[in-house]
Structure 1
Amino acid sequence: MSSLHAIDPAWAWVLAGFVLMGGELLLPGVFLVWLGLAAFVTGLVETAFDLPWQAQLPLFAVLSVIAVTLSTRLNRGHVPLLNRGAHGLIGRDIVLDTAIVEGSGRARVDDTLWRVSGPDLPAGTRVRVTGVEGTVLTVAAVS
């Protein structure tokens, strides 16, 4: 007859950490990975110090807050390159498809024709995207 053994609390925390980090694959964002890391570290601390559960839960909570706070501060001001839309074109050099006349013209960027605004320039002029206003690229001549 086999006896049932309770899972070691340290392994439970490590397993919870892996489950939370794995959950990051299913859910968008980068949040569960920090909770998973906190659970993983809680498991390592439990292994080293054999803490009672009354100490493990607050430790996990504190480590979670620290991990999420640090990740938020590290990512502050960081704009992902994906899904930036037209703002991702700022700084890029392009060629005018049609002349800019009275401040308005068109330029092809890859496979898309964009409206552009800037100083009057002939078609074929190389310009640099300096800004975006709605769906209109602001451009300046490249010197």
Structure 2
Amino acid sequence: MSEMFVTLGTWNWLIFGILLMALELAAPGVFLFWLGLAALLTGLISFAYTPSWQVQILMFAVFAAAAVPVWRRLARSSAAATADNPFLNKRADALVGRVFTLEKPIVDGTGTVRIDDTVWRIAGPDAPAGSRVKIVQAQGASLTVAVA
């Protein structure tokens, strides 16, 4: 076992880093990516400077530990970007509370309404064409309306 550590070299770290990043593709979770990046950095530094195996392992440990706050900072900034647009990928939820005019009547509690370039299925009380309806609930691709 100690012989394995003594023979640690640049190529071992590079291969280990690439292997960890490939495993990240198989089991995504963004954890192995940072360990792989730490191994690649250790390997690249080992090209320029030939440290002992103890220093190489210490460099890997430092880079891996430093990756945690970097990852948290990146994750926090990405969460803040999503908070700026709470309806991202929730288009129907963004319609709740808006009022539209029916092009076709609601018959037997179901109908359709054109909103921008999309025709939405709606459910609500029967209403003639030209009525103003307010969207009160969104479930998937169906909207529930009330006469405004």
TM-score by length of 2: 0.54
Task: For residues 14-47 of structure 1, give each alpha carbon's deviation from its aligned partner in whole angstroms, at most 9, with x where no partner exists.
Answer: 0000000000111022121111111001001111
Q: Which has the higher helix share?
A: 2
Aligned counterpart, 1:54: 54
User: Identity of aligned pairs, percent?
Assistant: 34
Task: For residues 83-109 of structure 1, give each alpha carbon's deviation from its aligned partner in whole angstroms, at most 9, with x where no partner exists.
Answer: x9985644358888xx9xxxxxx9899
The answer to whether 1:91 aligns with 2:91 is: no
Structure 1 segments unaligned to the other structure (5+ residues): 1-5, 100-105, 117-121
1:9–1:46 Cα contact (<8 Å) kept: yes
Structure 2 segments unaligned to the other structure (5+ residues): 1-5, 106-111, 124-128
* Runs of 4+ in structure 1 over 6 Å off: 93-96, 106-109, 113-116, 131-135
> For 1:63 and 1:29, how far apart are their aligned partners in 2?
19
CA spacing shift, 1:7–1:58, aligned 2, 3 Å: closer
CA spacing shift, 1:134–1:49, aligned 2, 3 Å: same
2:93–2:138 Cα contact (<8 Å) kept: no
CA spacing shift, 1:123–1:46, aligned 2, 3 Å: farther
Structure having the higher Rg: 2
> For 1:86 and 1:132, how far apart are their aligned partners in 2?
16
Between Structure 1 and Structure 2, how many residues are aligned?
Answer: 122
